[in-house]
Chain A
Amino acid sequence: MKGLNKYIFITCIILLVTGCKEKVTMLYEDVDALYFYNGTDRTNDYFQKDSVVYTFFFEEESRTSDTIEIIICTTGDVYNYDREIPLVQINESEKFAAVSGRDYISFDDEEMKKILTMPAGKNLVKIPIIALKSSDMTFNEYRLKLSFKDNQYFSTGIDEFSSILIKISNMASKPASWDGSWSSYFGQWGGEKMKFLINYVGFDDFDNPSNYDLSIISFFQISANNKLIEYNKQREKQNLPPLTEADGTIVEFPK
């Protein structure tokens, strides 16, 4: 019996020892810090990678500014008061760096200061960056690299997501899904063609070809053809040539 007690005692000790595991410190769990959202959350319509491309090309000519939303998150607790977000540009010295006040509304602007806030009770906010169209953007793409500095609310956060690059231009860019997907229905890519699809056909969801069944894709294809015919008729009345790309290629859609 004495031996039995000994085994019970040892077993209890082992259980006690294994029941106590060393606490692993969760990185940033207790640190109030900022980082740029990086991922896809379809439920909440969050999508952001480490860079954002924006062009004025597909907008109306008269548009001189537009909003680019970026998603900023916090680590640490949420608080019952607003916290200022110390957003800064970190690439001023680079070639083709965006210029505050020329290519985007300065973060020192009084209105922007009000916007640059993590609201009370929140750990995620969409911040509008106001891009400004300049004449140089027709030929150059300007780069705005953003990060955070420390302030009374936030200190250095996750290194991997501590910066984001925004590319601003007035030039057309070809969607990655064009070749092998949209090219079957809309033909060879062109900036004016894409602009026409967006502004006259009403189609701009080039990133998600799998969202559309063949019937609605054929609708966009037929609609693009019909509307281009009408559009060129109007141009003809104004003694203008058919819609062309910058290199002179006439815009056409497969039939």
Chain B
Amino acid sequence: MKTNIFTLGFILTFFISCNYDKGNYDYIDIDEILPENAVEGIEDTYSRSSQEYLNITPKLVELDEDDYDYCWYLYGINSTVYARDTISKTKELNFFITLSSGTYRLFFKATNKKNGLALYKTTVINVASIYSNGWYILKKEDNSSDLDLIDIEGKLHSSIIQTVNNKPILGNPIKISSARKSYNHLITNEDGTVKKLQNQDVIFLVTDKDLAVLNLDNMNIFNQFDNLFYEAPDVKAPQNVFTCYGGPTLINNGKAHWISNIRANSGLFNAPIIGDYSFSSYGMSYFVSGALVHDKISNSFKVATPYSTTITDITSEKLNKPFDVLYMKEQAINSMMIISNGLALVRDIETNVLKGVRLNTDWSYGGDPVMDAVDIPLDRNIYNGKIFALNNNNNVLYYSEGKNKLNMYNILSTQENLNIVTYPDNEAIKSINHMSVLYSSNSFDQLAVLTSTGNGWKLYLYNFVGTTSEIVTPEIASYSGTGEPQYVTYLSSDILYVN
């Protein structure tokens, strides 16, 4: 009998546990608690530069704002490096942006203090580094090198390397070049583990005593000469860096060292490319595959490319006598996507006759890169030239005798146009550069002339008459700053490689 009672109780337990609980709750429609469009005042996207404030004042519609706790947080959309981070716990956002350039998703969260339910609103911030776009002036100050920047708003940022890193780069300035989304940098963490930052935007700053790789996002120094090689060269004498798709090529003490982007790499330059050569500082980037550089031993052009461990000799029918180079550069329009030409000004070593040279910049073209080598008549003033620059669209060189006058020379027609601009007597032209950004929302096409004023620098920017080499005077803008100027160029997120 006892056993039967136990069995009955056991079975009843199962039935009771399965009883439907009808409950006694008062359900409220979701829209009453979390009404749609409850948050106003937050736009779908925001575009800001780093070092700027992002101010947003949201409003809770038909809700008592005092009943809520607030929180703003964000994370990188295109990036795995930036984890979710809370940036504010107030309703109004007043956020000073120190983020790396990129796209971020920003969340606004209002949590009801009584029931814990939360309202969300998301938006997107496109952050651009202030360093990403603008005119850069490489200058000497206190026997070191630094950069001034005129950003896209026309605001001058002085001595940014000193400001950001608390030190300038030692040595007399020579040049800067840049490469976008292609430099790898290793960071050793405190625990000894190593993290690789891949495809970074960088500036290569060359002085006669150092080479610095600067992070274009924040101007931090990634690395300097002594730590930029698998095995540092015995002689530290940087001359130039040519950037291209295949990777940067450094000329140091006449030898070419590359970082190959076609191989896994850690941002370190290789041993000097094999060959009997001693490069001058003059060359131009082959947009895809290395650089065409002047060799002082053979007094000819040779190719240094990250695709090869050896130097490639160039034989030219049109430039078949020993020559040295006074100026050389590729005609750069946007990035490597546009194949254009290069121009050079060379001197025949036997006759001292200058030649205007048109070069093919498409390495796949192969063979002889010299398209034309035209003698410059001896009566042309360009024989007195010291500072040169090319026009990106025409076969024209701008030049100065190092004084206050800007001149033009057409290397095919041999026609000159002197004194197209005359600057004040106390100014001397130090650098000229034609920079073009086409087919972009930030398009522009300007000639920059950088002068030394004795106690600082002055930068003049000119538009062109159509696609000609003729500039519109007077200048459309001018800027001034301190320090002894050396070089001017424009860096743009639309230009992958600037040389």
Contacts and interface: CB of A to CB of B under 8 A. Distances in A.
A215 B268 contact: yes
A225 interface: yes
B271 A219 contact: yes
Given A226-B272, A226-B274, A255-B310, A219 B230 contact: yes
B260 interface: yes
A229 B259 CA distance: 22
B263 interface: yes
A226 B230 CA distance: 14
Nearest to A215: B265
A216 interface: yes
Contacts of B271: 219, 222-223, 226
A209 to B, nearest CB: 14
A226 B259 CA distance: 17
- Secondary structure class of chain A's binding surface, majority of residues: helix
Contacts of B259: 215
Contact of B274 (A213, A214, A215, A255): A255
Interface residues of B, number: 16
The CB with the most chain B CB atoms within 10 A, among A216, A221, A222, A229, is that of A222
Given A214-B263, A215-B266, A225 B274 contact: yes
A218 B306 CA distance: 11
A59 to B, nearest CB: 22
A58 B328 CA distance: 48
B264 A222 contact: no
B273 interface: yes
Contacts of A215: 259-260, 263-266, 268, 270
A218 B263 contact: yes
B128 to A, nearest CB: 31
A213 B264 contact: yes
Interface string B296-324: 00000000000001100000000000000
B231 interface: yes
Interface string A91-107: 00000000000000000
A223 B260 contact: no
Interface string A180-219: 0000000000000000000000000000000001111011
B260 A218 contact: yes
Nearest to B273: A222
Nearest to A217: B263
A215 B230 CA distance: 10
Contact of B309 (A213, A216, A218, A229): A218
A83 B401 CA distance: 86
Nearest to B263: A214
A38 to B, nearest CB: 30
Which of the listed residues B231, B265, B274 has the most CB atoms from chain A within 10 Å of its own CB? Answer: B274
Contacts of B274: 222, 225-226, 229, 255
A46 B310 CA distance: 40
A213 B266 CA distance: 9
A226 B274 CA distance: 6
Interface string B245-264: 00000000000000110011
Given A215-B268, A226-B274, 12 more contacts: A213-B263, A214-B264, A215-B259, A215-B260, A215-B264, A219-B270, A221-B309, A222-B309, A223-B230, A223-B271, A225-B309, A255-B309
16 contacts: A213-B265, A213-B266, A214-B263, A214-B264, A214-B265, A215-B264, A215-B266, A218-B260, A218-B263, A218-B270, A219-B230, A222-B274, A223-B230, A223-B271, A225-B274, A225-B309
7 interchain residue pairs of minimum CB distance: A214-B263, A215-B265, A213-B264, A223-B271, A222-B271, A219-B230, A215-B263
